[in-house]
Structure 1
Amino acid sequence: MRISALLLLAAASLAGGAATAADLIVDDPEAIAAAADYDWSGAYAGLFGGGGNSEVTLSEPSGLADPLDLAADGWLAGVRAGFNAQAGVLVFGAEADLARTWIGGNGSASDGLNSLEYSYDVDWLGTVTGRVGYAADTLLLYAKGGLAAGGVRSTLTPTAPLPALPPSSADAVATGWTVGLGTEFAFSENATAGIEYDFVALGSELDYAGGSLEAKQDLHIVRLGVNYGF
């Protein structure tokens, strides 16, 4: 997919930039001394952008009808804030983020008599997570996990038999959990850049005009971002 290819290219570009910065530090004795004393402790705030792919399943609570499946993908951009505490090479922290998202998809289904088109979109996504990491001077490797929530909307549009019924839409706040892995590189005393992969599992109940469906979504997200420490 084009989105996946662009994410891989962005990750490669970030890795190349980090390698260049590392070479500059190696060539500068004063930078080496500063790197050896780098402290990840303190509060920070930042911006990020990225993209994601997901799989969505819409099913009846009774489980009698076949579920509706679709693939959704798109982009996101947002803000985050957090706090780190360092003990030796270990870094512990907490982080909250909120993103505007443009992740969605659509599908269609037919049983030979009735036909239906349907869509599913995520308008915003937020997480609150704990983090634990390993610091190697100006390089931080970390894992994270916690709670997630997102604003979702879906529309069902019957297309047969004629005359077709009007579309029915539903909105909900989906809740779930998230885990992720990431790395940050400090390129100044207060500024860092990094890349992160997150898996997010969300679930909700969508109430349409003619009934309700349960929605389950698994998202795979890659984010590129910068943080500023205080």
Structure 2
Amino acid sequence: MKNYVRGALAALLVGSVGAAAQAADLPSHKAPPPPLPPAFTWTGLYGGVNIGYAFGASSQETGGLGYLNGGVFAPAAPLGSAWTTGQNLQGVVGGGQLGYNYQFNPWLVLGAEADIQAADIGSHGNAVVGIADALGPHIQSVNSAKKVDWFGTVRGRVGFTLPSMPNLMVYGTGGFAYGQVVQNAGFADNFIGTTVSSLGHGYYDNTRVGWAAGGGLEWSPSMFPSWSLKAEYLYVDLGSTRANSVPLNGGTPALIGVTTPLFAATQNSPTRFHTVRAGINWHFDPFAVVAPSSTSGALPSVKGPPPAFVDSYQPFQVRLKVAGVIPLDGHGTVYDSGAGTLAAGLGSIGVRSGLTGANGVIAGASTNTSTAIIPMLDVAYYLNKNWAIEAICCVAPHHIQGTGTIASDFARAWLFPPSVMLQYHVTNFGAFQPYLGVGVNFTTFWNTRVNNDVWGIPMAPGSFLSTLGVPAVLSTFQYATVAPSWGVVGQAGFDYMLNDHWGLNLDVKYIGLHPMVHSTVISFAPQAPAAGAIFIPVKVSLPINPIVISAGLTYRFGGSLLSPLF
């Protein structure tokens, strides 16, 4: 028995020593090293805001004045003159930008950026020219004003970084520029020693195109790698505008037997300015592939397929898009609001010309409404994965073009058309998610202004004015206002979700928009100067009813914050 116990203990001791020796030969298992932080990169989308100051390029405006007839001085007319006026545009600018960068290597970054800026840029200038000729001394003068209401650019960017400072980029930029430019010019010629004075006015208001170039610095703080600060210089050239004179009193009597001369004048004005601005950007990359984590404890692989699409509930949604606004109708009916009144014994120009019918509609008069390309922001809340409430916000510039008997560039206005929609989203097709929506729109109009074009109202044969030998009456719009409008909105579109949060969007909307435009026309007949100026109130019933086609990015978030309401 003792021998048996001793043998068992010996075997146990030998086995323990052998196991220890074998364990000493096994490889050592260590915990995996912590993952390295990702290297900083400029690649990805970004968007942000900026504010700055614009100042002029010490430009010079040029103009001149010449006479169509000499009035009381006929047949010899004054010689006219030419002048130069200083211009110094300046004012505050501010807006937003959206762009994309791609970093090719540690020192080269290429990208593209689009921005839109609200602007309060303006200048004033004047010039006076004294002339003494055979007709005596007279003084010609011009008072010029220039204003840039807004502008935008679409530019390429070339950036350079250092491997030792990857979060600091120096870049150059250049490309296409566009903006709304308004030019006003008042002209006068005063004959010294007399009461004779000729007056004129020139006006230009349109969207101009040109180019922009500059450069800047952009820096991303190490503790906030998704954000960056930038300082930028940009030179903008929107070309030149020309304001041609509209005679205000040429050919009308100043004294008994004395007729003021009728002149033509012009003012050419370049639109060039520098901008210095500072901004902040938020960087994101919806197309980045997130490496899946390893379940075995090993380091994650930097390669592999992208994660599968997961259709989780995300209650909040923001879309940033570019939209085209296309009026389906835009052809207005013009009414003569003064058809029942008498002015200066002549009555309504529309009635006296034979163009206004018994219903007050001016025959042959209509309007067209322009298209527009605008940025658009949509914000939505999902009651559940299918039903959502969406608010749509944008601003759009339009101009109204008169046709027929009011053939003129009538007026321009900015539209603010917020809409609220109820939507149903179909989620049975995975990443492809179509939807339908219906809602209501309320459109207000602001910064409405007329363009001061002059056109001729023809006289119908046999009308009162035609019997007086007046072939046409010269007219221009004095002002315009547009009443707010309510309407229904129909919507159809789809999102294609790239992952749980990011997607691409395409959307089509129909907006019922039918405002009423009120204006006043100033008319005068050169063949009957004694009649003076005649004011005609008009109104335009303007069905616009646009189709809005938009495309852009969708971002959904907040799934960890709220549960579906239903």
Normalization by structure 1: what TM-score?
Answer: 0.77
Moved over 6 A (4+): none
Provide closer, same or farther for how the CA distance between residues 207 and 66 of structure 1 changes in structure 2, counting only shifts above 3 A.
closer
Q: Is the CA contact 2:84–2:127 (under 8 Å) kept in the aligned structure 1?
A: no
Quick check: 1:140 aligned with 2:158?
A: no
Q: Is the CA contact 1:57–1:217 (under 8 Å) kept in the aligned structure 2?
A: no
Quick check: 1:225 aligned with 2:279?
A: yes
Q: What corresponds to 1:44 in structure 2?
A: 46
Q: Is the CA contact 2:200–2:245 (under 8 Å) kept in the aligned structure 1?
A: no
**CA RMSD across the alignment:** 2.4
Q: Match for 1:142: what amino acid?
A: Y
Percent of aligned pairs with the same amino acid: 31
Q: Match for 1:225: what amino acid?
A: G
Q: Is the CA contact 2:214–2:232 (under 8 Å) kept in the aligned structure 1?
A: yes
Among 97, 101, 110, the residue aligned to 2:115: 97
Among 188, 206, 212, the residue aligned to 1:178: 212
- Deviations along 1:72-106, whole A, 9 cap, x unmatched? 11110011100000011210000000101111110
Counterparts of residues 57-136 of structure 1 (less than 5 Å) = 57-60=60-63, 65-88=82-105, 89-112=107-130, 113-135=139-161, 136=165
The whole-number CA distance in structure 2 between the counterparts of 1:177 and 1:131 is 14
Offset, 1:182: 0.4
The whole-number CA distance in structure 2 between the counterparts of 1:80 and 1:164 is 48
- Deviations along 1:132-176, whole A, 9 cap, x unmatched? 111231111100011111111111123552646264321122221
Offset, 1:217: 2.6
- Deviations along 1:165-214, whole A, 9 cap, x unmatched? 26432112222111111001112121111100111122133343436544
Show structure 2 runs of 5+ residues with no match.
1-35, 65-80, 131-138, 191-195, 247-264, 285-566
Q: Is the CA contact 2:116–2:152 (under 8 Å) kept in the aligned structure 1?
A: yes
Among 242, 250, 260, the residue aligned to 1:206: 242
- Larger Rg belongs to: 2
Offset, 1:116: 1.8
The whole-number CA distance in structure 1 between the counterparts of 2:178 and 2:60 is 17
Q: Is the CA contact 1:116–1:160 (under 8 Å) kept in the aligned structure 2?
A: no
Q: What corresponds to 1:53 in structure 2?
A: 55
Q: For this pair of structures, how many residues does the alignment match?
A: 196
- Deviations along 1:8-66, whole A, 9 cap, x unmatched? xxxxxxxxxxxxxxxxxxxxxxxxx86x82110000111000001113433359xx833
The whole-number CA distance in structure 2 between the counterparts of 1:155 and 1:183 is 37
Q: Is the CA contact 2:184–2:243 (under 8 Å) kept in the aligned structure 1?
A: no
The whole-number CA distance in structure 1 between the counterparts of 2:241 and 2:186 is 18
Q: What corresponds to 1:157 in structure 2?
A: 186
Normalization by structure 2: what TM-score?
Answer: 0.33
The whole-number CA distance in structure 2 between the counterparts of 1:105 and 1:168 is 16
Q: Match for 1:191: what amino acid?
A: W
Q: Is the CA contact 2:149–2:179 (under 8 Å) kept in the aligned structure 1?
A: yes
Among 269, 289, 304, the residue aligned to 1:215: 269
More helix by share: 1
Q: Is the CA contact 1:172–1:206 (under 8 Å) kept in the aligned structure 2?
A: no
Q: Match for 1:41: what amino acid?
A: T
Q: Match for 1:96: what amino acid?
A: A
More strand by share: 1
Q: Match for 1:106: what amino acid?
A: H
Among 206, 209, 225, the residue aligned to 1:189: 225
